[in-house]
Amino acid sequence: MAAARPALFLDRDGVINVDRNYIYRVADFDWIDGAQDVIRRFNAMGWWVFIVTNQSGIARGLYTEEQMQTLHDWMTAELDKSGARIDRIYHCPFHEDGTIARYRKDSFDRKPKPGMLIRAMTDFPVIKERSLMIGDKQADMEAAKAAGVRGFLFSGGDLASFTDWALADMGEGR
């Protein structure tokens, strides 16, 4: 088993890619400035890197899990080309108001609940006291807090600069 190490938890829409509501096609995906650099840097620092993303568009019938997976496979390949790696992508397709019956439910994985973060910390040896979550919504911050991880609210701009600030605020430095 791998040695325990800190983890970087990233929301997807609004943190890794520009949030244009219900992104599931490569043609609609635009990287946030600095996102690939941040992932590559945290890989080099020896941190786990996870994406934790609510995907209610699946429950709403706007796209399928297969279409989402195609986008995630493309993202992973693009990151690989740039020398970066996501250790695992966790997604929550459920929503209480979904139109697709099998996805219409409350879920412990849906942020602001901490399920996806807790699953990652169960699947991988994570030092949660040194880990951080970057999200663009209050629900991301609530999920981080409930999981025992520091949360940082990203409001746009260059993710690499923001992450430098977050690390400094945690006392991690570069």
Q: Give the domains, in start order, of the chain with CATH numbers.
A: 10-170 (3.40.50.1000)
| Residue 13 annotated as catalytic | yes
Task: Say if residues 50 and 88 touch (Cβ distance below 8 Å).
Answer: yes
Whether the per-residue pLDDT at 174 is higher than 50: the answer is: no
Q: Which of 33, 36, 115 is nearest to 75 (CA)?
A: 36
Question: Tens digit of pLDDT for each residue in 131-143?
Answer: 999 999 999 999 9
CA distance 13 to 156: 11
Question: What number of CA atoms fall less than 13 Å from residue 7's CA on the CB side?
Answer: 32
The predicted structure's pLDDT at residue 167:
86
The whole-model pTM stands at 0.95
Catalytic residue among 13, 109, 136, 140: 13
| Residue 37 annotated as catalytic | no
Q: Which of 27, 22, 35 is nearest to 162 (CA)?
A: 35
